[in-house]
């Protein structure tokens, strides 16, 4: 029997309803009762058709959005009950995000972009710089520290975004179709990086993809359909 890993995140009966028009009573019921547990050190993939609610689920799990019903316990705290200020803290220190588009700041170098989360959490310039350089080396970009995002390839930009997500040693990384804008080869490279982070550092990672080949890299895959998890596969 394996050692029981600690539960990092637990979602209980999550519902999310978007109001399109209050006046015309138009609502979209996107998440329809999702419950799940994420253990520390897991790497999980989420797949499902476009519109099935994958991004919405990731936003709710990652504290970017609140559910209309249900609870999300992150690291023992119910995020549904936290203030915006507390959520900002959690997002800066404990959660890393990687999106389909890199959202790097165009005027800043790769190094400066990666340093930002650390500076925001009030570490010194020296500390930030050292760790950022280390992480950029970890993602294979030691030769690109001073490059602006526009001087990097799509694959390199996404690896900078991964380094930035790792900056404050988050407990969990959420990645929403991180290879959606990349060709097959660069997509492969990014997912190999995720696997290495998970295997070498037990980094907890939850990623959304609609590429079958990448989805099987998750040790557990959640299949989302019409706002519900209809199937779970554990490797």
User: Residues 138, 143, 147, 153: is their CA dihedral positive or negative?
Assistant: negative
52 part of the interface to Mg ion, by CB under 5 A = no
56 part of the interface to ligand ADP, by CB under 6 A = yes
- Residues 172-201 interacting with ligand ADP (rule: CB under 6 A): none
30 part of the interface to ligand ADP, by CB under 6 A = yes
Distance separating alpha carbons of residues 78 and 229, to the nearest angstrom: 21
Distance separating alpha carbons of residues 110 and 152, to the nearest angstrom: 9
Tell the smallest beta-carbon distance from residue 98 to Mg ion (Å).
13
Looking at the Cβ atoms of 64 and 116, the one nearer to ligand ADP is 64
Alpha carbon of residue 200 to chain centroid: 18
**Pick from 38, 45, 55, 97: which binds ligand ADP (CB under 6 A)?**
55
Q: Are the C-beta atoms of residues 66 and 87 closer than 8 Å to each other?
A: no
**Pick from 7, 20, 125, 134: which binds ligand ADP (CB under 6 A)?**
20
Looking at the Cβ atoms of 46 and 165, the one nearer to ligand ADP is 46
* Joined tokens for residue 119: 């500076």
Per rule CB under 6 A, count of chain residues that contact ligand ADP: 12
Q: Are the C-beta atoms of residues 165 and 96 closer than 8 Å to each other?
A: yes
Looking at the Cβ atoms of 53 and 67, the one nearer to ligand ADP is 53
CA-wise closest residue to 204 among 216, 187, 219: 219
55 part of the interface to Mg ion, by CB under 5 A = yes
Residue ranges that bind Mg ion, judged by CB under 5 A:
54-55
């Amino acid at each position: 029997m394996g050692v029981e890993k600690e539960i990092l995140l637990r979602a209980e009966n999550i519902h999310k309803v978007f109001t399109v028009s209050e006046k015309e009573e138009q609502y979209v019921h996107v998440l329809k009762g999702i419950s799940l547990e994420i253990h520390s050190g897991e790497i999980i993939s989420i797949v499902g058709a476009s519109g099935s609610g994958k991004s919405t689920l990731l936003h709710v799990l990652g504290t970017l959005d609140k559910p209309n019903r249900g609870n999300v316990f992150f690291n023992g705290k119910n995020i549904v009950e936290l203030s915006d200020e507390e959520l900002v803290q959690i997002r800066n220190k404990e959660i890393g995000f990687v999106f389909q588009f890199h959202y790097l700041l165009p005027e800043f170098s790769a190094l400066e972009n990666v340093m930002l989360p650390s500076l925001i959490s009030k570490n010194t310039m020296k500390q930030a710089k050292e760790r950022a350089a280390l992480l950029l080396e970890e993602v294979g970009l030691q030769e690109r520290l001073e490059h602006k995002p526009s001087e990097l390839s799509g694959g390199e930009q996404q690896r900078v975004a991964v380094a930035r997500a790792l900056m404050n040693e988050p407990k969990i990384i959420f990645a929403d179709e991180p290879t959606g804008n990349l060709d097959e080869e660069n997509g492969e490279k990014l997912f190999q990086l995720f696997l290495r982070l998970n295997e070498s550092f037990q980094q907890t990672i939850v990623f959304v993809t609609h590429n079958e080949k990448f989805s099987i890299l998750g040790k557990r895959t959640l299949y989302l359909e019409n706002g519900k998890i209809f199937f779970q596969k554990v490797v």
